Amino acid sequence: MPAAHRPGLRVDSRLTIPEAELTWRFSRSSGPGGQGVNTTDSRAELVWDVAGSGALTPVQRERLLERLSGRVVDGVLTVTASEHRAQLHNRNAARARLAAVVAEALRPPSPSRRPTRPSRGSEERRLKAKKRRTDVKRLRRPPDD
């Protein structure tokens, strides 16, 4: 796909990865396709150098490298797609997957949980229910004569 048709991979409203920073590799897929699987390079790998990207701010780069540390090897993030028979569909799937992975990693962390205590009424209701259950089970026992 020429870069003229696609200016870049839009991740969110603040980040678009330039097409020049994305590298494609193709190989034979193990997915569906019958005998054609043996002859066509339908598996698509999309490679993006996170550490050397000029599209990221230093804060974004640090957050991506930290959150994707299990997926990033030597500063490079690789996403593969092989679920479709056609290479074009796998290319589109890999682009969508990369955008989703990066967007999820860039999402700001959720606020930490504020510790709370159960209300006095809820504790009393819980203890009454436990007592009721204890009484029910005690009534099921055989009498101790």
DSSP character string of the chain: --TTT--EEEEETTEEEEGGGEEEEEE--SSS-GGGGGT---EEEEEEESTT-SSS-HHHHHHHHHHTTTTEETTEEEEEE-SSSSHHHHHHHHHHHHHHHHHHHHSPPPPPPPP----HHHHHHHHHHHHHHHHHHHHHSPP--
Mean pLDDT across the chain, nearest whole number? 87
Backbone angles phi, psi at 132, to 5 degrees: -60, -45
* pLDDT at res. 133: 97
* pLDDT at res. 85: 83
Residue 129 scores a pLDDT above 60: yes
Where does the pLDDT of residue 1 fall: very low under 50, low under 70, confident under 90, or very high at 90 and above? very low
Q: How far apart are CA 12 and CA 44, in angstroms?
A: 23
Threshold 0.85, pTM exceeds = no
Report the share of the chain in percent with pLDDT over 70: 90
Report the share of the chain in percent with pLDDT over 90: 51
In 3D space, the residue among 137, 104, 95 whose CA is nearest the CA of residue 7 turns out to be 95
Residue 94 scores a pLDDT above 90: yes
Q: How far apart are CA 76 and CA 40, in angstroms?
A: 26
- Segment 34-48 shows an average pLDDT of 79
Task: Tell me which residue has tokens 């490679």.
Answer: 47
In 3D space, the residue among 105, 100, 96, 93 whose CA is nearest the CA of residue 56 turns out to be 105
- Segment 111-118 shows an average pLDDT of 94
For residue 126, CA distances in Å to 38, 61, 63 come to 64, 49, 43
Number of residues that this document lists for the chain: 145
Where does the pLDDT of residue 38 fall: very low under 50, low under 70, confident under 90, or very high at 90 and above? low
* pLDDT at res. 102: 92
* pLDDT at res. 83: 86
Side-chain half-sphere exposure of 8, counting CA atoms within 13 A: 15
* pLDDT at res. 36: 64
